[in-house]
Amino acid sequence: MSVSACNVEMFPDIARILRALYRLILDGSLLKHCVASLFRVTVGFYLAIVTAVPLGVLLGLYRTLYRIVNPVIQFLRPISPLAWAPFAILWFGIGDLPAIFIIFLACFFPLLIAAVDASANINPIYFQVGANLQLSRWSAFANIILPAIIPNVMLALRMTLGMAWVVVVAAEMIGMKSGLGFLIVDGRDALRLDRVAAAMLVIGLIGLVLDRIMQQLGELESLRWKNARK
Protein backbone atom coordinates (compact mmCIF):
# COMPACT_ATOMS: atom_id res chain seq x y z
CA MET A 1 0.00 0.00 0.00
CA SER A 2 1.57 3.23 -1.11
CA VAL A 3 1.16 6.29 1.01
CA SER A 4 1.94 9.57 -0.66
CA ALA A 5 4.24 12.20 0.72
CA CYS A 6 1.55 14.38 2.18
CA ASN A 7 0.01 11.38 3.81
CA VAL A 8 -3.46 11.99 2.39
CA GLU A 9 -4.79 9.99 -0.46
CA MET A 10 -6.78 12.16 -2.82
CA PHE A 11 -8.31 9.11 -4.43
CA PRO A 12 -7.78 5.41 -3.70
CA ASP A 13 -5.69 3.71 -6.35
CA ILE A 14 -7.31 1.37 -8.76
CA ALA A 15 -5.92 -1.81 -7.25
CA ARG A 16 -7.44 -1.02 -3.90
CA ILE A 17 -10.76 -0.17 -5.45
CA LEU A 18 -10.85 -3.45 -7.33
CA ARG A 19 -9.89 -5.34 -4.19
CA ALA A 20 -12.72 -3.67 -2.29
CA LEU A 21 -15.07 -4.43 -5.13
CA TYR A 22 -13.97 -8.05 -5.14
CA ARG A 23 -14.68 -8.37 -1.43
CA LEU A 24 -18.08 -6.75 -1.80
CA ILE A 25 -18.90 -9.23 -4.52
CA LEU A 26 -17.65 -12.20 -2.50
CA ASP A 27 -19.66 -11.48 0.62
CA GLY A 28 -22.80 -10.94 -1.47
CA SER A 29 -23.42 -7.45 -0.18
CA LEU A 30 -22.84 -5.79 -3.55
CA LEU A 31 -25.54 -7.87 -5.21
CA LYS A 32 -27.91 -7.16 -2.34
CA HIS A 33 -27.35 -3.42 -2.55
CA CYS A 34 -27.62 -3.36 -6.35
CA VAL A 35 -30.86 -5.28 -6.25
CA ALA A 36 -32.22 -2.93 -3.59
CA SER A 37 -31.39 0.17 -5.65
CA LEU A 38 -32.58 -1.29 -8.92
CA PHE A 39 -35.80 -2.44 -7.34
CA ARG A 40 -36.56 1.05 -6.05
CA VAL A 41 -35.73 2.67 -9.34
CA THR A 42 -37.78 0.20 -11.33
CA VAL A 43 -40.90 0.53 -9.22
CA GLY A 44 -40.69 4.32 -8.94
CA PHE A 45 -39.97 4.67 -12.64
CA TYR A 46 -42.87 2.46 -13.71
CA LEU A 47 -45.24 4.20 -11.34
CA ALA A 48 -44.22 7.50 -12.87
CA ILE A 49 -44.70 6.18 -16.42
CA VAL A 50 -48.18 4.82 -15.84
CA THR A 51 -49.34 8.02 -14.17
CA ALA A 52 -47.42 10.79 -15.93
CA VAL A 53 -47.84 9.65 -19.52
CA PRO A 54 -51.65 9.26 -19.51
CA LEU A 55 -52.05 12.45 -17.53
CA GLY A 56 -49.68 14.25 -19.88
CA VAL A 57 -51.63 13.09 -22.93
CA LEU A 58 -54.85 14.28 -21.34
CA LEU A 59 -53.35 17.67 -20.55
CA GLY A 60 -51.77 17.92 -23.98
CA LEU A 61 -55.05 17.30 -25.74
CA TYR A 62 -57.28 19.42 -23.55
CA ARG A 63 -55.79 22.87 -23.37
CA THR A 64 -58.32 24.19 -20.86
CA LEU A 65 -57.47 21.45 -18.42
CA TYR A 66 -53.82 22.17 -19.03
CA ARG A 67 -54.24 25.85 -18.23
CA ILE A 68 -55.88 24.98 -14.93
CA VAL A 69 -53.39 22.32 -13.85
CA ASN A 70 -50.20 23.84 -15.22
CA PRO A 71 -49.57 26.31 -12.35
CA VAL A 72 -49.70 23.44 -9.87
CA ILE A 73 -47.21 21.47 -11.96
CA GLN A 74 -44.87 24.40 -12.34
CA PHE A 75 -45.10 25.05 -8.61
CA LEU A 76 -44.24 21.50 -7.59
CA ARG A 77 -41.67 20.83 -10.28
CA PRO A 78 -38.76 22.94 -9.00
CA ILE A 79 -38.95 21.45 -5.51
CA SER A 80 -36.17 18.91 -5.34
CA PRO A 81 -37.56 15.41 -4.86
CA LEU A 82 -35.03 14.96 -2.05
CA ALA A 83 -36.68 17.76 -0.10
CA TRP A 84 -39.62 15.43 0.32
CA ALA A 85 -37.50 12.86 2.13
CA PRO A 86 -38.57 13.74 5.69
CA PHE A 87 -42.22 13.61 4.68
CA ALA A 88 -41.70 10.45 2.71
CA ILE A 89 -40.31 8.75 5.79
CA LEU A 90 -43.09 10.19 7.92
CA TRP A 91 -45.77 8.94 5.53
CA PHE A 92 -44.33 5.65 4.40
CA GLY A 93 -42.20 4.65 7.36
CA ILE A 94 -38.87 3.00 6.71
CA GLY A 95 -38.19 0.46 4.00
CA ASP A 96 -38.38 0.81 0.25
CA LEU A 97 -41.44 2.98 0.01
CA PRO A 98 -39.94 6.39 0.84
CA ALA A 99 -37.19 5.90 -1.74
CA ILE A 100 -39.69 4.72 -4.31
CA PHE A 101 -41.78 7.79 -3.64
CA ILE A 102 -38.80 10.06 -4.17
CA ILE A 103 -37.85 8.31 -7.40
CA PHE A 104 -41.44 8.59 -8.53
CA LEU A 105 -41.39 12.34 -7.93
CA ALA A 106 -38.09 12.72 -9.74
CA CYS A 107 -39.44 10.91 -12.81
CA PHE A 108 -42.99 12.16 -12.76
CA PHE A 109 -42.54 15.79 -13.77
CA PRO A 110 -40.07 15.38 -16.64
CA LEU A 111 -42.22 12.60 -18.08
CA LEU A 112 -45.39 14.60 -17.61
CA ILE A 113 -43.98 17.60 -19.39
CA ALA A 114 -42.60 15.50 -22.23
CA ALA A 115 -45.97 13.80 -22.69
CA VAL A 116 -47.87 17.11 -22.61
CA ASP A 117 -45.50 18.60 -25.12
CA ALA A 118 -45.54 15.61 -27.44
CA SER A 119 -49.30 15.26 -27.53
CA ALA A 120 -49.97 18.99 -27.86
CA ASN A 121 -47.74 19.06 -30.92
CA ILE A 122 -49.39 16.27 -32.87
CA ASN A 123 -50.21 17.60 -36.31
CA PRO A 124 -53.94 18.48 -36.21
CA ILE A 125 -54.36 17.04 -39.70
CA TYR A 126 -53.99 13.56 -38.23
CA PHE A 127 -56.93 14.18 -35.94
CA GLN A 128 -58.97 15.44 -38.85
CA VAL A 129 -58.16 12.29 -40.79
CA GLY A 130 -59.12 10.24 -37.73
CA ALA A 131 -62.41 12.07 -37.44
CA ASN A 132 -63.00 11.70 -41.15
CA LEU A 133 -62.42 7.96 -40.99
CA GLN A 134 -64.68 7.91 -37.94
CA LEU A 135 -62.14 6.07 -35.85
CA SER A 136 -63.35 5.09 -32.43
CA ARG A 137 -61.79 6.82 -29.45
CA TRP A 138 -59.71 3.78 -28.72
CA SER A 139 -58.59 3.41 -32.32
CA ALA A 140 -57.66 7.10 -32.49
CA PHE A 141 -55.60 6.66 -29.36
CA ALA A 142 -53.87 3.51 -30.57
CA ASN A 143 -53.33 4.61 -34.17
CA ILE A 144 -52.72 8.32 -33.84
CA ILE A 145 -51.90 9.60 -30.38
CA LEU A 146 -49.72 6.78 -29.12
CA PRO A 147 -47.51 6.33 -32.18
CA ALA A 148 -47.21 10.09 -32.59
CA ILE A 149 -45.90 10.67 -29.08
CA ILE A 150 -43.81 7.53 -28.65
CA PRO A 151 -40.56 8.88 -30.12
CA ASN A 152 -40.52 11.92 -27.85
CA VAL A 153 -41.69 9.97 -24.84
CA MET A 154 -39.00 7.35 -25.42
CA LEU A 155 -36.37 10.05 -25.39
CA ALA A 156 -37.80 11.44 -22.16
CA LEU A 157 -37.83 7.96 -20.64
CA ARG A 158 -34.19 7.54 -21.43
CA MET A 159 -33.22 10.81 -19.80
CA THR A 160 -35.53 10.28 -16.85
CA LEU A 161 -34.19 6.85 -16.08
CA GLY A 162 -30.72 8.31 -15.88
CA MET A 163 -32.00 10.89 -13.47
CA ALA A 164 -33.82 8.29 -11.41
CA TRP A 165 -30.56 6.47 -11.03
CA VAL A 166 -28.89 9.62 -9.74
CA VAL A 167 -31.72 10.28 -7.34
CA VAL A 168 -31.92 6.76 -5.90
CA VAL A 169 -28.34 6.96 -4.70
CA ALA A 170 -28.99 10.35 -3.13
CA ALA A 171 -32.18 9.11 -1.48
CA GLU A 172 -30.40 6.08 -0.08
CA MET A 173 -27.70 8.30 1.33
CA ILE A 174 -30.28 10.18 3.34
CA GLY A 175 -32.16 7.54 5.16
CA MET A 176 -31.88 4.00 3.84
CA LYS A 177 -30.12 1.00 5.28
CA SER A 178 -29.51 -0.67 1.93
CA GLY A 179 -28.74 0.21 -1.65
CA LEU A 180 -25.69 1.61 -3.39
CA GLY A 181 -26.27 5.01 -1.81
CA PHE A 182 -26.14 3.41 1.61
CA LEU A 183 -22.97 1.61 0.61
CA ILE A 184 -21.37 4.97 -0.07
CA VAL A 185 -22.44 6.49 3.24
CA ASP A 186 -21.40 3.36 5.05
CA GLY A 187 -18.00 3.40 3.41
CA ARG A 188 -17.56 7.06 4.27
CA ASP A 189 -18.45 6.51 7.91
CA ALA A 190 -15.96 3.67 8.11
CA LEU A 191 -13.35 5.85 6.39
CA ARG A 192 -13.14 3.24 3.64
CA LEU A 193 -12.81 5.43 0.57
CA ASP A 194 -11.94 2.35 -1.49
CA ARG A 195 -15.43 1.04 -0.87
CA VAL A 196 -16.94 4.43 -1.68
CA ALA A 197 -15.08 4.44 -4.98
CA ALA A 198 -16.09 0.83 -5.69
CA ALA A 199 -19.74 1.77 -5.18
CA MET A 200 -19.30 4.74 -7.51
CA LEU A 201 -17.81 2.46 -10.11
CA VAL A 202 -20.77 0.12 -9.92
CA ILE A 203 -23.25 3.01 -10.05
CA GLY A 204 -21.61 4.30 -13.20
CA LEU A 205 -21.56 0.89 -14.85
CA ILE A 206 -25.21 0.22 -14.09
CA GLY A 207 -26.13 3.68 -15.35
CA LEU A 208 -24.33 2.92 -18.58
CA VAL A 209 -26.17 -0.37 -19.00
CA LEU A 210 -29.55 1.21 -18.25
CA ASP A 211 -28.94 3.87 -20.86
CA ARG A 212 -27.96 1.26 -23.42
CA ILE A 213 -31.16 -0.66 -22.75
CA MET A 214 -33.25 2.47 -23.20
CA GLN A 215 -31.38 3.30 -26.37
CA GLN A 216 -32.14 -0.13 -27.76
CA LEU A 217 -35.80 0.29 -26.90
CA GLY A 218 -35.79 3.60 -28.74
CA GLU A 219 -34.67 1.87 -31.90
CA LEU A 220 -37.44 -0.67 -32.05
CA GLU A 221 -38.98 -1.55 -35.35
CA SER A 222 -42.13 0.39 -34.58
CA LEU A 223 -40.13 3.61 -34.48
CA ARG A 224 -38.46 3.15 -37.82
CA TRP A 225 -40.61 5.74 -39.49
CA LYS A 226 -39.13 8.41 -37.27
CA ASN A 227 -35.54 7.73 -38.24
CA ALA A 228 -35.77 8.51 -41.91
CA ARG A 229 -38.06 11.46 -41.52
CA LYS A 230 -35.37 14.09 -41.57
Which residues of this chain interact with other proteins, rule CB under 8 A? Answer: 61-63, 123-129, 131-136, 139, 143-144, 147-148, 222, 224-226, 228-229
The whole-angstrom separation of Cα 226 and Cα 230 is: 8
Rounded Cα distance, 125 and 107, in Å: 31
Q: Which residue, 34 or 149, is less far from other proteins as judged by CB?
A: 149
The angle formed by the CA atoms of residues 218, 221 and 226, to the nearest 5 degrees, is 65
DSSP assignment of 2-14: ---TTS--SS--H
CB nearer to other proteins: give 87 or 225.
Answer: 225
CB of 152 to other proteins, least distance (A): 13
Neighbours of 113 (CB within 10 A): 19
The nearest distance, CB 220 to other proteins, in angstroms, is 12
- 46 versus 141: smaller Cβ distance to other proteins: 141
CB of 131 to other proteins, least distance (A): 4
Q: Which of 147/207 has CB closer to other proteins?
A: 147
CB of 10: closest distance to other proteins in angstroms?
A: 52
Minimum distance between the CB of residue 139 and other proteins, rounded to whole angstroms?
7
Question: Residue type at 121?
Answer: N
CA distances (Å), origin 98, targets 91, 109, 179? 8, 18, 13
Identity of the residue numbered 172:
E
Task: Give, as one character, the DSSP assignment of residue 219.
Answer: T
Tell me how far apart the alpha carbons of residues 74 and 88 are, in angstroms, rounded to a whole number: 21
218's CB contacts (< 8 A; 6+ apart) are 151, 154, 155, 158
Q: Decide whether 75 or 230 has the Cβ nearer to other proteins.
A: 230
Residue 80 or 136 with smaller CB distance to other proteins: 136
Q: How far is the CB of 230 from other proteins (least distance, A)?
A: 10
